[in-house]
Amino acid sequence: MASSSLSAKSGASLRAPPAPLSRWRAARKWLAAQEGWVFIFPWVVGFILLDLGPYIFALVISFLNWDVGRPPSFIGFRNYQAAFTDPLVGKSLWNTAYYTLFHVPGSTVIAFAVAGLLNQKVRGMPIWRTMYYIPSVTSGVGMALIWIWLFAPRGALNGMLGWFGIDGPRWLTSTTWAMPALIIMSFWGVGSSMVIFLAGLQGVPQHLYEAAEVDGGGWWAKVRHVTIPMMTPYIFLSLILGVIGSFQVVTQALLMTEGGPDNATLFILLYIWIMGWNAFKMGYAASISWILFAIIFAATIVQFLGARRWVYYEYQEPG
């Protein structure tokens, strides 16, 4: 296997066999220890060809003036300079941050509350659980199409607002309301964090609740002092993945608003797509994607550093 040569330098010397083993047997033993490579081989190949390689390639591209169809030329940091002064980069970053600021905390709280509800003893629970989960199963294009209609000027949402005498806005074509509309819609897609929270809730040891009861704690005390501390690892995971996903939102905006009106829903990834595949400025698009990378990376690191203050791990992970 080609893979055995990859690790030729490491490992073998660690457990040098005692004298009587012949060279041949030592080699066979070493080879057997490398069997794991066969299993992870596909991932190693994919990692090099589809991740590591492209990351390096993307870095190179970001220093080039590369309009598809013309030979690329090296222009140093000029793509980055242009990106930092491009008002639409600023605008789209601001929009993305705005979305993230409401979408991530909002959907975490909702997912947590729903998971708490679904963890109660209620008859027919599998049916209710499924109903909460279905909108997440169908997220993406299908949901976007439905919400185009729900948010239509004379659509269902404004119809309901009309019952209360409220004259609803023209959601998706209003510069003020287009972004809140996308945020509201995102709250229907909380199913996957909800399922993760539900799994977590079922793992909270019952005796902790009993202890809280003995101490005279009511419902809120149990949530506050047992459930939430025990759930912090799950909440943390949900926040981390939520921020990463939220910064790369594109489908809804592309389908429902095309970034409009007046760039009010121009997300950063949408702008990268426009620059790359409509304007064919690959070098420029790559430089913006690195700015996005830096922001997501920083946000993740900050969250990991902050996690030490509030995430509670009772058990060590096995392995």
Partner 1 sequence: MAATTADARRPRPLALRAFRWSRRILLYLIVVGGSFVYMYPVFFMLRTSLTKESDLYVVPPIIVPLPPVWENYAIMWQNGPTWSWMKNSFIVVGFSVVAETITSVSVAYGFARTRFAARDKLFIGVLATMMLPGAVTLIPRWLIFHRLDMIDTLWPLLIPRLFGTPFYIFIMRQFFLTLPRELDDAARIDGASHLQILRKVVLPLSIPAIATIAVFSFMNRWNDFLEPLIYLLRTENLTLAVGLRFFVSRFGTEYHLLMAGAMLLIVPMIIAFFLAQKQFIRGIALTGIKG
Interactions with partner 1, residue window 247-306 (CB under 8 A): 247-248, 250-251, 254-255, 269, 272-273, 276-277, 282, 285-286, 289-290, 292-293, 296-297, 300
Residue 218 interacts with partner 1 (CB under 8 A)?
no
Query: How large is the greatest C-alpha to C-alpha distance in the chain, in angstroms?
Result: 92
* Residues contacting residue 143 through CB under 8 Å, at least 6 positions apart: 135, 185, 188, 189
Q: Specify the residue, 20 or 27, whose C-beta has the smaller distance to partner 1.
A: 27
Give, as one character, the DSSP assignment of residue 167. -
Q: Which of 28, 35, 84, 314 binds partner 1 (CB under 8 A)?
A: 35
End-to-end CA distance of the chain: 27
- Taking CB under 8 A as the criterion, the residue among 143, 178, 179, 184 binding partner 1 is 143
Alpha helices in 119-177 (DSSP H): 125-137, 141-150, 156-163
Residue 47 sits in the site that holds partner 1 (CB under 8 A): yes
Q: How far is residue 285's CA from residue 1's CA, in Å, rounded to a whole number?
A: 39
Give the C-alpha distances (Å, rounded to integers) separating 5 from 11, 28, 290.
12, 14, 34
Closest CA to 139 of 249, 267, 271, 261: 249
Ranges assigned E (strand) in the chain: 64-65, 73-74
Task: Give the E-state strand segments of 24-70 in sequence order.
Answer: 64-65
Residue among 42 and 87 whose Cβ is closer to partner 1: 42
**Least CB distance from residue 232 to partner 1, whole Å?**
9
> Whole-number minimum distance, CB 188 to partner 1, in Å?
7
- Residue (20 or 319) nearer to partner 1, CB: 319
Residue 98 or 155: which CB sits closer to partner 1?
155
The single residue among 89, 104, 111, 148 that binds partner 1, judged by CB under 8 A, is: 148
Q: What are the distances in angstroms from CA 177 to CA 46, 181, 194?
A: 42, 6, 27
Q: From the list 1, 17, 36, 161, which residue makes contact with partner 1 (rule: CB under 8 A)?
A: 36
Q: Which two tokens stand for residue 27?
A: 């080699």
Interactions with partner 1, residue window 3-32 (CB under 8 A): 7, 10-11, 14
Binder to partner 1 among 228, 230, 244, 260 (CB under 8 A)?
244
Residue choice 63, 99, 112, 147 for contact with partner 1 (CB under 8 A): 147
91-110 residues in contact with partner 1 (CB under 8 A) are none
Residue closer to partner 1 by CB (options 22, 202) is 202
Q: How far is the CB of 306 from partner 1 (least distance, A)?
A: 13
DSSP conformation class of 77: T
